Structure 1
Amino acid sequence: MSLAEWKARGRELELEGFGRRLFVVERGPTQARAGTDEAPTLLLVHGFPTSSHDFHRVLDRLAQTHRVIAHDQLGFGLSDKPRLGGGEGEYGYSLFEQAEVALALWRQLGVRRARLLAHDYGTSVVTEILARRAFSPVAGAPELDAVILCNGSVNLELASLTWPQKLLAGPLPVARAFARVGPRALFEARIRKTLAPASRARFDPADIEAMWAGNVRAGGRERLADLSRYLHERRRFWARWREGLRRTQVPALVLWGRADPIALPAIAECLAAELPRAQLRWLEGLGHFPMLEDPGRWAEALLEFLDGLD
């Protein structure tokens, strides 16, 4: 599915109180299955440097039983990409801010209770949300029935970062210069190297084309360097987020492509140990984008866990 086709499935929404526009896709039943008042809501939080388009191959399957909501975070995909800074019209691109934006969006959409799933960069946004639940609950935040973490380098010291990731996290002038001139061929090569070896030959080039289109839209290439500041926050605030994980008492699933060359299996094992009620589910032979590499197997594993909650 192209980015244009994905755009046609969603809408732009003006976020109340923020003056920002977010792209949001919402699918699935809003009324109940038999014996319940409402269909359960599943919130999807995407990773870096991509967008909610990452879930396009599993959306319809998940929407058979859930109200599914996925949004492009600020700086990504089809959402606004404000300049980095603290002045009027600017944005800090902190994981803390991205958490605030997500919570505000869900409140605006009337989400009162949900299952929360995050991939890659999104896992750090969600661990901040879990920390807020643990330390200082936010009024209007949805109650959580479950949390699912998928292939994200939350434990940064255990990750195997690529050289472009390290360069983008370096001094801003150098990082921005690299982001502006980095060719599409390099982008595609780096994405393919995050996949399991068996996935590379069958991976749909249209998915990489959609990732690239989301990156370059509306000056997004410069935002890559701004967004990459999140790697420093992962180091700085890890103690806070780890304690938030330890205090999370809802059922949890660590759903992991075991052949991920960046978010290594040791990270999944640490997360499963930190979360008191976690299950660890390996997806053998899949890499960093398991929902795109084998959408059927990824969705089946997720829904097996979610069905168990019911």
Structure 2
Amino acid sequence: MSLAEIPLCVWRTRGHDFAFRGRNIRYWAAGQGEPLLLIHGFPTASWDWHYLWQPLSRRYRVIACDMLGFGDSDKPRDHDYSLIEQADLQQALLDHLQVSQPVHVLAHDYGDSVAQELLARHGESRFDMASCVFLNGGLFPETHRALFIQKLLLSPLGWLIGRIFDRCSLDRDFSRVFGPDTRPSESELDDFWSLIAAGQGHHILYRLVSYIPERLRHRERWVQAMQHGRVPMRFINGAGDPVSGRHMVERYRELVPDPDTILIPAIGRYPHIEAPNLVLRLYEEFRSGLYGLLPVAATSRVVQDSAPANHPFALSTTIQNGSC
């Protein structure tokens, strides 16, 4: 089954706005059923989910926003950006939409850390989480391998690096984190850049990247929430990601009891863009398991694609049992 792309120009027309602590936040909502919160990564925005948006909205009430400092939301220049505040934002959005049911979460990259904070709040009875699926992200900061550009942004010259970061820089850095056969097209790069550069967002990249040391500060609380909580979790990972690929899955399996992990060998940091059909199938499998439609057990699997994922409409897959 092919998944239809939602062009960025169309996606933008379907958004709505709400105010969060005096800032304008752009969000999207569609469908009916159990709420499913989609949380995007760095440095992109919620358009990352566009391949999955329509099929997921046929079964769930899907909700996503461009977090503060990202995409088409406000990007204040002198703001101290925080993952904790982004978790507050997600809860404020759910309150704005009057969501009262337990919330399922599907998160990626930077969004994984926001999801970890929400998971910790669930354990503290401050958030009602029904399940959580992570895509590539720095769940364990000791295993995260920052890119050179991220290290530069964290340096005293970070403000200058952000100002000279441009579309060519994005092309170079994305080429390193996507799979070798699944790199974004020129038009996709144009769209990614449009979201990053909106409101001169590239000028605040050095502020947004403060999430890397922030992960260290909250590491124990977040990892303990994953180890001791009872929220069903799955980790779907593009193994070709040099930042949080196969090595992050190995660490997950060391630390998380009864781990449910899936590796996609030929895919990089953005599996929901590089192999959306496969990610959709793996997510639906996970959700079916929650309701007893499929058996639930700790598992480690390797999933092989038989077609390049930059042609996401023609994926066929086989699943192999194996260890990570």
TM-score bucket of the superposed structures, by smaller chain:
0.7 to 0.9
Q: What SS class does the counterpart of residue 71 from structure 2 fall into? A: coil
The one-letter amino acid paired with 2:213 is: H
Kindly indicate whether residue 102 of structure 2 is the aligned counterpart of residue 98 of structure 1. Answer: no
Runs of 4+ more than 6 Å apart:
none
Q: CA deviation at 1:2?
A: 4.3
Partner of residue 290, structure 1: 271
Q: What SS class does the counterpart of residue 58 from structure 1 fall into? A: helix
Q: What SS class does the counterpart of residue 62 from structure 2 fall into? A: strand
Question: Aligned match of 1:3 in 1, 8, 11?
Answer: 8
- Cα distance in 2 between the residues matched to 1:184 and 1:125: 27
Partner of residue 127, structure 1: 116
- Cα distance in 2 between the residues matched to 1:183 and 1:74: 20
Gaps of 5+ in 1: 30-38, 85-90
Q: CA deviation at 1:247?
A: 2.2
- What TM-score do you get using the length of structure 1 for normalisation? 0.87
Question: Aligned match of 1:80 in 74, 80, 86?
Answer: 74
- What TM-score do you get using the length of structure 2 for normalisation? 0.84
CA RMSD of aligned residues (A): 1.6
Once the two structures are superposed, what CA deviation does each residue of 1:209-253 show, in whole Å capped at 9, x if it has no partner? 121111111121122111011111112221121112112211111
- Cα distance in 2 between the residues matched to 1:206 and 1:307: 35
Q: CA deviation at 1:157?
A: 2.2
Q: What SS class does the counterpart of residue 28 from structure 2 fall into? A: strand
- Cα distance in 2 between the residues matched to 1:308 and 1:269: 23
Question: Aligned match of 1:185 in 168, 193, 197?
Answer: 168
- Conservation of the 8 A alpha-carbon contact between 1:251 and 1:278: no
- Cα distance in 2 between the residues matched to 1:76 and 1:253: 26
Give the alignment of 1:220-299 within 5 angstroms: 220-276=201-257, 278-299=259-280
Kindly indicate whether residue 129 of structure 2 is the aligned counterpart of residue 144 of structure 1. Answer: yes
Q: CA deviation at 1:147?
A: 0.6
Give the alignment of 1:140-179 within 5 angstroms: 141=127, 143-171=128-156, 174-179=157-162
Gaps of 5+ in 2: 1-5, 292-324
Question: Aligned match of 1:302 in 283, 298, 318?
Answer: 283
- Cα distance in 2 between the residues matched to 1:275 and 1:40: 26
- Cα distance in 2 between the residues matched to 1:14 and 1:98: 14
Q: CA deviation at 1:273?
A: 4.5
Q: What SS class does the counterpart of residue 65 from structure 1 fall into? A: coil
User: Percent sequence identity over matched residues?
Assistant: 32
Give the alignment of 1:186-201 within 5 angstroms: 186-200=169-183
Q: CA deviation at 1:106?
A: 1.0
The one-letter amino acid paired with 1:239 is: E
Once the two structures are superposed, what CA deviation does each residue of 1:225-284 show, in whole Å capped at 9, x if it has no partner? 110111111122211211121122111111111121211212123334544454112223
The number of aligned residues is 285
Q: CA deviation at 1:12?
A: 1.6
Per mean C-alpha deviation after superposition, the further-off stretch among 264-273 and 209-218 is 264-273
Per mean C-alpha deviation after superposition, the further-off stretch among 107-116 and 290-299 is 107-116
Partner of residue 118, structure 1: 107
Q: CA deviation at 1:205?
A: 2.6
Question: Aligned match of 1:206 in 187, 190, 193?
Answer: 187
- Cα distance in 2 between the residues matched to 1:274 and 1:116: 21
Q: CA deviation at 1:165?
A: 0.8
